[in-house]
Chains A and B, each alone.
Chain A
């Protein structure tokens, strides 16, 4: 499929899906409850498993999983619309680790092997959670991870910054063994998980240590390499969608605040200095939406253009989300610097996400490579 034919609009089904997720989150995950969770819970308890179960009941955890593997048999486009809503709510659920990275790797195996099929079915149903054991900053195209070594079926190594490991039942581990790269599954309780105090408290991280842990190999060689790359590409695209949602909440909230906050006997939104700043943010968001739709469509269509579309999405949307949330803090003035106002949750999410799955800089370097703009000698 030519890249210019990709559909950049939202389908009716996507809009319905978005509406039902938004309704659930408005009811079950208002910012007050997110703020309460991060204020009063340890990292391992921030994740809202009950909410995850309710999302599973909406059938949105296995959207791009084929029906034969227990999923909804939709595409990454629908998953992208859901990711936008989860970002909009900074929902503390293991979407990125479980429904995107782990699921992405397992779907890419394209296998009907019983263990993988059963796991995918459980992940889509919210019965079990999983994650891909790589440092969260790992970018697509950066080669097979080398932190973990396999000795037969026993894994050893330490992986820092693993997302959603604390809520995982199963770990999906890329490891290098005698036969080269392999992808392994093991129960999470076979690993030592050290919680990290994370900048984005709504997205718990852990250091995963494996010391001869017994695991099952589900792929080896090129198949394992491809599965990890597919997971990272899927992650890059759906994370960009989530970043868009995060930025949109910050933007909408800021525009509303500019209309109601009065100083110098005028709503501050009547000052041109502020108007022009939000107008520029609106332009960036309109562009980010087009870029995210393009990447989601490329992923859904398994387009040849996917690596470029994913790199573009991360290079562009990461910076937009950081810019919009930073401006949201500034435009809120004093209240924006407090703990009681939720805008900090969004700033932290946006900044952390911009380091996740590759910084904008790494993605620009990847684009340079993909479109033939080599660096200076």
Chain B
């Protein structure tokens, strides 16, 4: 192993570190949790995090190098789907704003998967306008007392911990009166109920917070700085993109294309035209995602991530709609309305009716397509903001 120095490690040094690590911990025989814990201790969990926090202070782009290297040695972690909030949102935010104690307490079990996290952000009255959240946090000695109602919380029924955005000061404009907390989901006063969606199943929950006490030591960032902290969380939500190229016809377009190939009886001229248009659009979207992946791997992140989300939402909706039309009488059926609680939506495994309905959520979840268009226009293209009524008014005086 290269001796450690002040300069952050480069790709070659990271490869050497992975090789040395794997020599000590055989991926084939080591228990996954143990392996991940050791990887965290070695600074090879998130190499761009600081030393002692699972990282080595390396450039972010080099994380891809490390992941690819571990994969080459045969280590691909399994059962990580339930950890997306912890890994993708809580960890980078805690790394950026957490106290040393908070980092020590939370980052490692997030990485190993021993603690599941959820996100308590959206509310019935604060969807696209997230900064309008009304869940109150009131100081009481060394604690904060939380009262409110959160929605669209995936994994809340399984989570030990949550990232929470709450209002600590209703008397200042909305962006300035928010504070960010880490909330124990097993604390008294936390009630989780499934939120059944139009597909019949419940991926999400509503969470009621009734006089939940959170110690001030679990506040992340300063009082009133919650919006700034939340930006880090949301930024990371949008940059998450897979490390491996997606194959041609890998998504929904593959299902419809195979159906077209195997069922000549279903073919019509109009649907052929639509299928080809969607095939072209899907392939363009796939290559765009692949280009973004190559940019990230080369350390040149671009704003194209929001383009990818927008176009996949529209494509999934159009392709799943086409599939129903193509199937004719089968398109009138639905595979199963039974209420259930899936880990994640199974777009490829479920029936065409499910795909059609679930895809409706794609342009709403994680930022509506309309909000994304505004973000692209204002932040990427630099167009001026719309005049706003809510910027200088105290939150409590806003129309609602």
B290 touches A8 (CB 8 A): yes
A115 interface contact, C-beta 8 A = no
Complex Cα distance, B382 from A270, in Å, reads: 10
A373 touches B275 (CB 8 A): yes
B307 touches A283 (CB 8 A): yes
Q: Identify the stretch in B3-11, B51-59, B133-141, B276-284 within 8 Å (CB) of chain A at 4 or more residues.
A: B276-284
Chain B positions within 8 Å of A258 at CB level:
383
Residue of A whose beta carbon sits closest to that of B277? A364
CB within 8 Å of B: which A293-319 residues: 293-294, 312, 315-316
**A262-292 toward B: CB 8 Å interface, digit per residue (1/0)?**
0000110111100110111011001111110
Residue of B whose beta carbon sits closest to that of A376? B267
With most chain A CB atoms within 10 A of its CB, the pick from B281, B283, B298 is B283
CB within 8 Å of A: which B298-312 residues: 298, 300, 304, 307, 310-311
A4 interface contact, C-beta 8 A = yes
B382 touches A259 (CB 8 A): yes
Complex Cα distance, B271 from A4, in Å, reads: 28
Known contacts A283-B311, A290-B288, A364-B276; is-contact A9 B294 (Cβ 8 Å)? yes
CB distance from A100 to the nearest CB of B (A): 22
Complex Cα distance, B283 from A287, in Å, reads: 9
A270 touches B374 (CB 8 A): no
Complex Cα distance, B96 from A123, in Å, reads: 58
Known contacts A276-B374, A290-B284, A373-B272; is-contact A8 B291 (Cβ 8 Å)? yes
Chain A positions within 8 Å of B386 at CB level:
270-272
Contact of B284 among A288, A368, A375 (CB under 8 A): A288
B247 interface contact, C-beta 8 A = yes
A279 touches B280 (CB 8 A): no
Contact of B311 among A255, A287, A293, A376 (CB under 8 A): A287
A7 interface contact, C-beta 8 A = yes
CB distance from A54 to the nearest CB of B (A): 31
B287 touches A294 (CB 8 A): yes
A345 interface contact, C-beta 8 A = no
A373 touches B280 (CB 8 A): no
B60 interface contact, C-beta 8 A = no
Known contacts A276-B370, A279-B377, A312-B284; is-contact A290 B291 (Cβ 8 Å)? yes
B72 interface contact, C-beta 8 A = no
B384 touches A9 (CB 8 A): no
B284 touches A7 (CB 8 A): no
Contact of B384 among A4, A270, A279, A365 (CB under 8 A): A270
Residue of B whose beta carbon sits closest to that of A372? B261
Complex Cα distance, B296 from A9, in Å, reads: 11
**B39-74 toward A: CB 8 Å interface, digit per residue (1/0)?**
000000000000000000000000000000000000
Complex Cα distance, B249 from A3, in Å, reads: 13
B248 interface contact, C-beta 8 A = yes
Complex Cα distance, B260 from A316, in Å, reads: 22
Residue of A whose beta carbon sits closest to that of B370? A276
A143 interface contact, C-beta 8 A = no
Complex Cα distance, B300 from A315, in Å, reads: 28
A334 interface contact, C-beta 8 A = no
The size bracket of the interface on B is: 35 or more
Residue of A whose beta carbon sits closest to that of B281? A316
| Tally of A-B Cβ pairs under 8 angstroms | 131
Chain A positions within 8 Å of B285 at CB level:
287
Contact of A316 among B268, B284, B310, B378 (CB under 8 A): B284
A270 touches B385 (CB 8 A): yes
CB distance from B85 to the nearest CB of A (A): 27
A377 interface contact, C-beta 8 A = yes
A9 touches B279 (CB 8 A): no
A371 interface contact, C-beta 8 A = yes
CB within 8 Å of B: which A158-172 residues: none
A132 interface contact, C-beta 8 A = no
CB distance from B302 to the nearest CB of A (A): 8
Chain B positions within 8 Å of A4 at CB level:
245, 247-248, 290
A237 interface contact, C-beta 8 A = no
CB distance from A283 to the nearest CB of B (A): 4
A367 interface contact, C-beta 8 A = yes
Residue of A whose beta carbon sits closest to that of B376? A279
CB distance from A299 to the nearest CB of B (A): 15
Contact of A278 among B284, B383, B384 (CB under 8 A): B383
A373 touches B260 (CB 8 A): yes
Complex Cα distance, B272 from A315, in Å, reads: 15
Complex Cα distance, B284 from A312, in Å, reads: 8
Q: Which 9 A-B pairs have the closest CB atoms?
A: A275-B377, A279-B373, A376-B267, A269-B383, A8-B291, A279-B376, A290-B291, A290-B287, A364-B276
Listed in ascending order, the chain A residues whose CB lies under 8 Å from chain B are 3-4, 7-9, 255, 258-259, 266-267, 269-272, 275-276, 278-280, 282-283, 286-291, 293-294, 312, 315-316, 364-365, 367-368, 371-377
With A266-B387, A287-B284, A373-B276 given, name 9 new contacts (CB 8 A).
A8-B291, A275-B377, A279-B310, A282-B376, A283-B376, A286-B307, A312-B280, A364-B273, A374-B264
29 examples of A-B residue contacts, CB within 8 angstroms: A4-B245, A4-B290, A8-B290, A8-B294, A259-B383, A266-B387, A272-B386, A275-B377, A275-B378, A278-B377, A279-B310, A279-B374, A280-B310, A280-B373, A282-B376, A283-B310, A286-B307, A287-B284, A287-B285, A287-B287, A287-B288, A291-B284, A293-B291, A294-B287, A316-B280, A364-B280, A373-B260, A376-B267, A376-B269
